[in-house]
Every structure is written in C-alpha cells, then in structure tokens.
Amino acid sequence: MRALVVGIGNPLRGDDGLGPHVIERLREEGIGCLSREGVDRLRADETACLHQEDVDVGVDLLACHQLTLELAEPASRVGLVIFVDASADTTPGIVTCRRVPPLDAESAGATSHHCSPELILSCAELLYGHRPAGWLVSVGAASFEPGATLSLAARGAVAAVLKRCRGLLRASEVPPLRSVYLS
C-alpha cells in the first residue's frame, strides 16, 4: 500500500509552518526519497529520466499552504493519507491524532479558501472511486504571526509528530521505510 503525507501551512507565519517543517524532516530521514537505483541512474547520467521504480514507492510527501480540492486525485491513488497541521484550537505544543471520518451532509460545503481533510477524502471517493484511510496529526500553535519562526512549543512537538507519522505508516503496511544518502 502507498501512503501520502500532507504537511499543511505557511512557513512564513510562525507555527503555521509546522506541516511543511515536518515534511522536510521526513525527507531528511529518507522517507519519500530516491531509491538506490534512482541515485545510481542519476550519478551515471545527470540527464537521465527517473522512472517510477526509482522513487521510494511507499510514501509520497507533499507540503502545501492550504488544502485544495486538487488533492483528491493524489489521495485517491493511495491507501493512507496523513495530514499534518498546526491548530489554533489546542494548547500550544500538544499533539493530537484523530482518524479523518467520512464527511456528513452538514459539512459538505467548500470554498476556494477552506477545504477539510474530510472533504478531500470524500472527493477522492466521489470523483475517483477510492477513499483512503485518513489521519490528522495536529499540534497546538502558539503563534501565527507573519515572519515568525516555529515557537518553542511547536519545535518541542516535532519529534512526537514524526514518531506518530512513522507509527501510522508502519501500522498501515506501507513498504519498508528506507533512507538514501548521497555521498
């Protein structure tokens, strides 16, 4: 089974950048990286085209400023989607994890400025015939100020978020996670 991890937020607005920060940390760990064969192909010929098998087939990583309906298509191609986001509704630094439930009729509205994980997964099913399992991992935010970096509370929660994401990926039978280091 393939998985998609979506880090939501704006890195230029304090703790709102938590989602993209987690995606970058997962990349640093080798999740969603080139396979050894892909690295070798690029070393042999810098103009080589990469093939699907050159990419770690288990996990796709995506950072975005906000959720949009276009995410329904990539979500429909995986068995699991993990959304990572900062929350204004939780105590700063507290990590929460919840399953993304099916969308109910009362919550079905969407605008170009607000899509929920529930809506993305429901659209994946409606438009492409497959609704993957979904989880939302969120961290209470201390600040969304323009120009600010991650707060101490958010930075302190990153390790727990990474651990939670890795645990969800392993529990969902994603192919073995591997790291690739270029030397």
- The pLDDT score that the predictor gives to residue 107 is 57
In a domain, 82, yes or no: yes
181 in a structural domain: no
Question: Residue 30 has what pLDDT?
Answer: 80
Residue in 15, 140, 162 with CA at minimum distance from that of residue 90: 140
pTM of structure? 0.81
Query: Cβ atoms within 10 A of the Cβ of 120, count?
Result: 28
70 in any annotated domain: yes
Domain count, the chain: 1
Q: Considering the domain boundaries, does residue 85 fall inside one? A: yes
Cα–Cα distances in angstroms (integers) from residue 138 to residues 16, 30, 150, in the given order: 11, 22, 14
Q: How many C-beta atoms surround the C-beta of residue 43 within 10 A? A: 10
Query: Hey, which residues does 17 pair with through a beta bridge?
Result: none
- Is the CB of residue 142 less than 8 Å from the CB of residue 93? yes
Model pLDDT, residue 136: 98
What string of H, E and C letters represents the secondary structure of 9-77? Answer: CCCCCHHHHHHHHHHHHHHHCCCCCECHHHHHHHHHCCCCCCCHHHECCCEEEEEECCCCHHHHHHHHC
Q: Is residue 180 part of a domain?
A: no
> Which residues in the chain land under pLDDT 50?
52, 54, 176-183
Q: What is the CATH number of the domain that holds 139?
A: 3.40.50.1450
Whether residue 59 is contained in a domain is answered as: yes
Q: Is 26 exposed, middle or buried (0-12, 13-18, 19+ CB in 10 A)?
A: buried
- Burial level of 85, CB count in 10 A (0-12/13-18/19+)? buried
Q: Is residue 51 part of a domain?
A: yes
pLDDT at position 47: 54
Q: What backbone torsions phi and psi does residue 73 show, to the nearest 5 degrees?
A: -65, -55
115 within domain boundaries: yes
SS3 state of residue 91: strand
On average, the pLDDT of the chain sits at 83
Q: Give the range of the structural domain holding residue 48, as residue numbers without chain letter.
A: 3-171
Please calculate the CA angle 150-153-156 and round it to the nearest 5 degrees. Answer: 90
d(CA 132, CA 100): 10
